[in-house]
Amino acid sequence: MKKIADVPMPGPAVRFDYQTFDPSSGRLYIAHMNADQLVVFDTSKRQVVANLDGFKRVHGVTVAPEIHRLYASVTGNHQVTAVDTESLKTLGIAGPITYPDGLAYAPKQNKVFVSDEHGGVDAVIDARSNKLITNIPLGGGAGNTVYDSVSGHVLVSVHGMNLLAVIDPATNQIISRIPLAGIKNPHGIALDTRDRIAFIAGEENHSLAMVDLQTMKVLSTYQVGEDPDVLAYDPGLKRLYVSAESGTVTIFQNNRKSLTLLGSFEMPHAHTVSVDPKTHLVYFPLENVDGHPLLRIMQPVVTTQSKQ
């Protein structure tokens, strides 16, 4: 990885959490968790265009470009806030949710699915009314929640149970549970929708599972940095980035049925990562570099293998 730029971030030198990239606008939305702020970053101009206050202990953030909405888990208030991505004004608040974390938007049903990490459920919000409509019991703590655009299902990693729950957003029901052998406390998820693969990180045993979404079986497992948190996948380069709380970033090349380790490196507090699939640039919000927060932009080293 080659460092391209360090862009100063607003606010104090405190923890960031999830981020979401909107390809339609080129904006990166970053949860500055312990600053209670949402940072709006223009990747083409490489500058902060807004810094939104009032998002107490914001954890998860996801964008729904189809309806020009941004959803943020305002964990400190046990709520999810809907924001208009054009005006950046708050449109609604849904809750109560015990500990809202990861978020996913199901466009066909116009619903937002929310990991309630400590509540043991996936909460469901009607995006039209911005109201909480139901809770789906998981049998364990909720890790990350993602939307699979091919199957139209919502996938949730389940702490304690060491499985991946598959939800039908039309019925708000779990339709299958995939055991994750070799994974303890699954949390972060990234998808390769084209090759029908899910990558799921185990927090407790610094592990990574490669799951075939057609057979619903674990293909292989790998070791990553201690306490992995956020994953990002570049479908063009077929490259997976696994960021850990320990500051270790592990990089893999996806070979469809297996992964090749390309390497790893260390950065302080580099537990959250995002990638622009068009430019292949990788973004790491770092909470404290020489006393200030910054967004580190990095470029992957492209090999002949990764171009294929």
CA distance 226 to 240: 17
In this prediction the pTM is: 0.96
CA distance 216 to 85: 36
CA distance 250 to 199: 13
Encode burial over 70-80: b for 16+ CB neighbours within 10 A, e otherwise.
bbbbbbebbbb
Residue whose tokens read 């999810």: 80
For residue 62, the cross-strand partners are: 71
The per-residue DSSP string of 128-140 comes to TTTEEEEEEE-SS
Q: In order of start, what are the domains of the chain with their CATH numbers?
A: 54-179 (2.130.10.10)
pLDDT at residue 304, rounded to an integer: 53
DSSP structure class, residue 307: H
**Residues 85-105: pLDDT tens digits?**
999 999 999 999 999 999 999
**Residues 258-288: pLDDT tens digits?**
999 999 999 999 999 999 999 999 999 999 9
CA distance 290 to 12: 12
**Residues 211-260: pLDDT tens digits?**
999 999 999 999 999 999 999 999 999 999 999 999 999 999 999 889 99
